[in-house]
């Protein structure tokens, strides 16, 4: 997975791919790359590491301007299952897509602010979300103490954060997920069954991910133009 799904030229895609990988491993400072020298270590070019590949459908319309306000329509990490279903449903995505796409959290990093609700003042009775594995919660607490002042503090999404794999689902089933919304996937029998299915089969997960990511990347919104050069508006 990775790269820029809207970049049709190879160099932009490789650069985006590389930035994505580095942002996950080395989140402190996004690196800058010289225009022509891109090198990959043997491990980085191992196709198993980045998961499935797919043919990106052409012809999707992009907008010409980017508005911060539009990101407010994104689902929040504190959403429960019905809020998630509603948010995905409004965009034509099913419960199955929700579970499969959430597995995208096999890559990357989350700041303390995104999951602090689970480890501090969870509710009136409990400080910590009781669905969290206690030692996992304790380790998050060390990284993200109450009133944390370290801006970049946080945790990787799963234990193999630079690999596209199904460890996210395995950890989720063991109470080792970061967000409330991850945990919410275990709150209905149908979504829980899907989590268990993808935790036990990497092949099935990869196949399902390709279908759902193509579906999600085909959501058109209010796009205005089909980019001929992904770095430039016409």
Strands (E), 32-136: 109-111
| Bridge partners, residue 156, by sequence | 109
Report, in Å, the least distance between residue 165 CB and ligand HEM: 13
Question: What would the DSSP string read from start to end of 51-71?
Answer: ----PPPS-PPBPSS--GGGG
**Cβ-based nearer residue to ligand HEM, 30 or 35:** 30
Report, in Å, the least distance between residue 63 CB and ligand HEM: 19
**Cβ-based nearer residue to ligand HEM, 124 or 212:** 212
Residues engaged in binding ligand HEM (CB under 6 A): 23-24, 75-77, 84, 101-102, 104-105, 107-111, 114, 154, 179, 181
Report, in Å, the least distance between residue 23 CB and ligand HEM: 5
- CB 174 within 8 Å of CB 133: yes
Report, in Å, the least distance between residue 234 CB and ligand HEM: 28
Tokens of 139: 């380790």
**Cβ-based nearer residue to ligand HEM, 137 or 164:** 164
**Cβ-based nearer residue to ligand HEM, 207 or 233:** 207
Report, in Å, the least distance between residue 180 CB and ligand HEM: 9
**Cα 90 off chain centre by:** 19
C-alpha to C-alpha distance for 162 and 107, rounded to whole angstroms: 6
**Cβ-based nearer residue to ligand HEM, 36 or 90:** 90
User: For residue 58, what are the contacts with CB-CB under 8 A and spacing of at least 6?
Assistant: 8, 226
- CB atoms closer than 10 angstroms to residue 16: 17
């Amino acid at each position: 997975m990775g790269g820029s799904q809207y970049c049709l030229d190879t160099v932009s895609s490789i650069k985006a791919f590389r930035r994505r990988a580095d942002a996950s491993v080395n989140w402190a400072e996004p690196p800058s790359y010289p225009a022509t020298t891109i090198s990959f270590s043997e491990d980085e070019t191992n196709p198993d590491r980045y998961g499935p590949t797919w043919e990106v459908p052409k012809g999707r319309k992009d907008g010409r301007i980017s508005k911060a306000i539009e990101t407010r329509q994104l689902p929040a990490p504190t959403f429960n299952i019905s809020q998630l279903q509603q948010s995905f449903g409004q965009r034509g995505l099913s419960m199955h897509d929700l579970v499969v796409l959430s597995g995208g959290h096999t890559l990357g990093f989350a700041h303390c602010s995104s999951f602090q609700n689970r480890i501090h003042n969870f509710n009136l009775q409990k400080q910590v979300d009781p669905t969290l594995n206690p030692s996992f919660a304790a380790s998050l607490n060390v990284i993200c103490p109450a009133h944390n002042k370290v801006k970049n503090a946080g945790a990787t999404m799963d234990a193999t954060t630079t690999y596209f794999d199904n460890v996210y689902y395995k950890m989720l089933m063991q109470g080792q997920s970061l967000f409330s919304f991850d945990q919410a996937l275990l709150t209905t029998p149908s979504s829980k069954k899907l989590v268990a299915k993808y935790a036990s089969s990497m092949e099935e997960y990869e196949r399902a991910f390709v279908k759902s990511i193509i579906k999600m990347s085909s959501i058109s919104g209010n796009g205005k133009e089909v980019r001929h050069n992904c770095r430039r508006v016409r």
